[in-house]
Amino acid sequence: MKAAAFYEYGPAEAMRYADLPDPDLGLTDVLIRVQACGVNHSDLDSRAGTSRWPFELPMVLGAEFTGTVADVGPGAGPFCTGDLVTAFQQYNCARCGPCAKWRPDLCEAFEVFGTTRWGGYGELVSAPARVVLPLDPEDDMLAVAAGQCVVSTAWHMVNRQALVRPGDLVLVPSASGGVAGALVQCAKLAGATVVTTVGTVAKAERVSALGADVVVVRAGADIAADLLRATGGRRFDVVLDTVGGDLFGAHLSVLREEGTLVTCGAHAGEVVPLDLIRLFRNGWRIVGFRLAGPDDLAASLELIRRGAVKVPIAATFPVSDAAAAHRFLERRQHVGKVLLVAS
Ligand SMILES: [Zn+2]
């Protein structure tokens, strides 16, 4: 097969559209011909060699993809050549100790497409049939390939970690990003009133369109005061943070007593000041997002297929020019998801 692969770490050009052996098709595997594959920021780190995963090179990236069945192992069940499918972006082994104790999220032999095994940046991907999900002709193949990672992250944060309930007041700072946009929509589905912040008036309209009840454009020096003015003084039950950085303390400060902040990203700054006295006097909970489990992946794919959560698409590139997609992402001027499509 042809695939965008890198043989050593480096800049976007380290990825070459090259001939590679077809992936092995095991007894219970399905071979998928890729139509569309999502590009994630973590792909850039993987290629550059700054992620902490021990890759086996050459590596073919791509965690989330859609396509058609190209071949079926003899024990892979009721799949037929030509079926439309997607696959869970990561999966557990179903054999180790934690898996036997119904904790797939603690699996000792976890597999992630595009990280521990080849993913969707090529013509073909081999996947165990148990993680392959059939799609219908009505499904939007681009939307499904674009949304699994961000929507499953948001769904897990809202429903498993923050435990958002109807009537809760939820803050999503810097809501123009991909996960943040999905957080706004998932918190609305959970029945919350959602307040967001954005950097510019132009972004405010896009975030309102996702369903945010109040959008605060960052202008003054005191974002905490601006937020509390917007809520009539009511403090937040939950903060869903994807950015970290200098404003982390301000976002934490508007939580009610025993409120919860869940964090999953730190593009605005990884190390933040934290006033421990305020933390324990208020009984605030700060929770880190680690992993979306299989139930969250299934729920997110269902939400995307039904159109209940939408992930805007910024651009598509042919997989033969995956390097251009990485350069586009590195410029950080886009809004929405970047996809590779079959050349
Ligand atoms: Zn396991």
Per-residue pLDDT of the chain (343 residues; tens, 9 = 90+): 999 999 999 999 999 999 999 999 999 999 999 999 999 989 999 999 988 888 999 999 999 999 999 999 999 999 999 999 999 999 999 999 999 999 999 999 999 999 999 999 999 999 999 999 999 999 999 999 999 999 999 999 999 999 999 999 999 999 888 899 999 999 999 999 999 999 999 889 989 999 999 999 998 889 999 999 999 999 999 999 999 999 999 999 999 999 999 999 888 888 998 999 999 999 999 999 999 999 999 999 999 999 999 999 999 999 999 999 999 999 877 778 999 999 8
* Distance from residue 97's CA to the centre of ligand 1 (Å): 7
* Distance from residue 109's CA to the centre of ligand 1 (Å): 5
Paired residues of 313 in beta bridges: 337
* Distance from residue 112's CA to the centre of ligand 1 (Å): 13
* Distance from residue 72's CA to the centre of ligand 1 (Å): 24
* Distance from residue 293's CA to the centre of ligand 1 (Å): 12
* Distance from residue 111's CA to the centre of ligand 1 (Å): 9
What the block records as the tokens of 303 is 């939400």
Amino acid 177: pLDDT: 84
* Distance from residue 67's CA to the centre of ligand 1 (Å): 27
* Distance from residue 33's CA to the centre of ligand 1 (Å): 27
Give me the count of residues in the chain. Answer: 343
Do the beta carbons of residue 6 and residue 57 sit within 8 Å? yes
* Distance from residue 45's CA to the centre of ligand 1 (Å): 26
* Distance from residue 94's CA to the centre of ligand 1 (Å): 5
* Distance from residue 116's CA to the centre of ligand 1 (Å): 14
* Distance from residue 95's CA to the centre of ligand 1 (Å): 5
C-alpha 190/C-alpha 116 separation (Å) is: 34
* Distance from residue 115's CA to the centre of ligand 1 (Å): 17
* Distance from residue 93's CA to the centre of ligand 1 (Å): 4
* Distance from residue 101's CA to the centre of ligand 1 (Å): 10
C-alpha 310/C-alpha 60 separation (Å) is: 27
Do the beta carbons of residue 264 and residue 153 sit within 8 Å? yes
C-alpha 218/C-alpha 201 separation (Å) is: 9
* Distance from residue 130's CA to the centre of ligand 1 (Å): 14
* Distance from residue 271's CA to the centre of ligand 1 (Å): 33
Paired residues of 193 in beta bridges: 169
* Distance from residue 312's CA to the centre of ligand 1 (Å): 34
Do the beta carbons of residue 275 and residue 250 sit within 8 Å? no
Amino acid at site 289: F
Amino acid 53: pLDDT: 81
* Distance from residue 173's CA to the centre of ligand 1 (Å): 35
Amino acid 336: pLDDT: 85
C-alpha 48/C-alpha 52 separation (Å) is: 11
* Distance from residue 110's CA to the centre of ligand 1 (Å): 6
Place of tokens 């997607």: 86
